[in-house]
Amino acid sequence: MKFYFTVLYGLWLMIGSSAHAEVKGTVLWYAEREAGIEPYRVRYIVTPGFMRSDEGDDKGGFVLFDRALRQIYSVVPQNRTILNIDGEGEVPQVPSTLSIEVRRSVDEKAPKVADKSPVTLELLADGELCYTAAIVPDHLQEAREALQEFALALAIQQSRTLAATPKEYQTPCFLARYLYATDFYLSQGISLLDWSEDGQRRELFDYQDGVELDAVLFELPDDFAIIKPPGQ
pLDDT tens for 67-77 read 999 999 999 99
Check whether 21 has a pLDDT greater than 90: no
Check whether 16 has a pLDDT greater than 80: no
- Give me the chain's average pLDDT, please: 90
Does 232 reside within a domain? no
pTM: 0.88
Looking at residue 104, which CATH number applies to its domain?
A: 2.50.20.10
Check whether 3 has a pLDDT greater than 70: no
Check whether 8 has a pLDDT greater than 70: no
Residue 132's pLDDT is 98
CA 131, 137, 140, 144 torsion: positive or negative?
positive
Does 87 reside within a domain? yes
Residue 2's pLDDT is 43
Check whether 92 has a pLDDT greater than 90: yes
Residue 9's pLDDT is 36
CA 53, 55, 56, 57 torsion: positive or negative?
negative
Determine which of 15-24, 43-52, 57-66, 201-210 has the lowest per-residue pLDDT on average: 15-24
State the residue range of the domain holding 177: 2-227
Average pLDDT over residues 138-154: 97
Domain count, the chain: 1
CB-based contact 116:139 (threshold 8 Å): yes
Residue 4's pLDDT is 42
Kindly give, in sequence order, each residue whose CB lies less than 8 Å from that of residue 25, ignoring residues fewer than 6 positions away: 45, 46, 47, 48, 142, 211, 213
**Identity of the amino acid at 39:** P
Check whether 35 has a pLDDT greater than 90: no
